[in-house]
Amino acid sequence: MACFLDSSPNRYFLSTGYNVSCTPRCQHLSGTNAKNIMEKLPEFIANHLFLVSLLVAITSLLLWNIFSGAIGVTQIAPTEVTRLINHENAKVLDLRSPDEFEKGHIINSVNLVASALEGSEKELGKYKDKTVVLCCGQGQESIRIARILKMKGFEKLYCLKGGITAWQSANLPLTKNT
């Protein structure tokens, strides 16, 4: 049996394992309602500002992560990329640096550096009506670029989920030929 003390000397709770009971002297506490909780919420927030801020930040990041894919950017697995390349003649645009591209890339992919994308409007225009798969190192940069390209009218646009790292993890081949 354990006894839990409240800040007031007249209130205490008794616990006998699974059941918690309130002694007759503090039965009025069991009637705590939402109004009392809401009245104390500003005080709780003020006393625990760091924890509340952390909760808001984590919740925001989780919601952003969940709903960021819902704005038209489709991420696909490496095996689906191979299907698109083989059956729909998809063009793979590799957004990594030229050095990374030379170390190994997906066969017949085109290297377009993400930072120089604004200057390559003419290069991108020829892929606008084709099935395009964007890939980068880890998959994050391709999502950002895909959003930009979606606004510019690209319809059949996909991102390699997990980037080249996921491609290699799936034991799919990379080539060093251009």
Each residue's pLDDT tens digit, 43-62: 999 999 999 999 999 999 88
Amino acid identity for residue 56 in this structure: V
111 versus 16: which is more confidently predicted? 111
Nearest to 129 by CA among 114, 149, 112, 147: 149
- Is 178 among the domain residues? no
Same domain, 54 and 117: no
Q: Kindly state whether residues 52 and 6 are assigned to the same domain.
A: no
83 and 163 in a single domain? The answer is: yes
164 and 82, same structural domain?
Answer: yes
- State the CB neighbour count (10 A cutoff) for residue 60: 10
pLDDT tens sequence across 37-46: 888 889 999 9
Is there a single domain that holds both residue 115 and residue 153? yes
Q: Do both 163 and 78 map to the same domain? A: yes
In a domain, 176, yes or no: no
Q: Residue-wise over 115-130: b if at least 16 C-beta within 10 A, else e?
A: eebeeeeeebeebeee
- Mean pLDDT score, 110-125: 77
DSSP sequence for 28-43: GGGG--HHHHHHHHHH
Q: Give the residue-averaged pLDDT of 1-22.
A: 51
Assigned domain for 84 exists: yes
97 versus 117: the higher-pLDDT residue is: 97
Contact indicator for 4, 15 with CB cutoff of 8 Å: yes
**Model confidence over 124-164: pLDDT tens digits?**
888 888 999 999 999 888 988 888 888 888 888 999 999 99
Q: Percentage of the chain with pLDDT > 70?
A: 75
Are 152 and 110 in a shared domain? yes
Q: Rounded to whole angstroms, how far apart are CA atoms 165 and 146?
A: 18
Report yes or no on 175 lying in a domain.
no
**Count of structural domains, the chain:** 3
For residue 96, tell me if it sits in a domain: yes
* Bridge partners (DSSP) listed for residue 134: 93, 159
pLDDT of residue 5: 47
With H, G, I as helix, E, B as strand and everything else as coil, classify residue 21.
strand
Residue 77: exposure state from Cβ atoms within 10 A (0-12, 13-18, ≥19) = middle
d(CA 69, CA 71): 6
> Is 110 among the domain residues?
yes
Same domain, 96 and 115: yes
CATH number at residue 153: 3.40.250.10
Q: Where are the beta strands (DSSP E) in 83-173?
A: 91-94, 110-111, 132-135, 157-160
Domain region containing 43: 36-71
> Average model confidence (pLDDT) for the chain?
81
Residue 111 and residue 82 share a domain? yes
Instruction: Please indicate, yes or no, whether residues 57 and 80 belong to a single structural domain of this protein.
Output: no
Instruction: List the Cα angle 147/153/155 in 5-degree steps.
Output: 80
Do 92 and 160 belong to one domain? yes
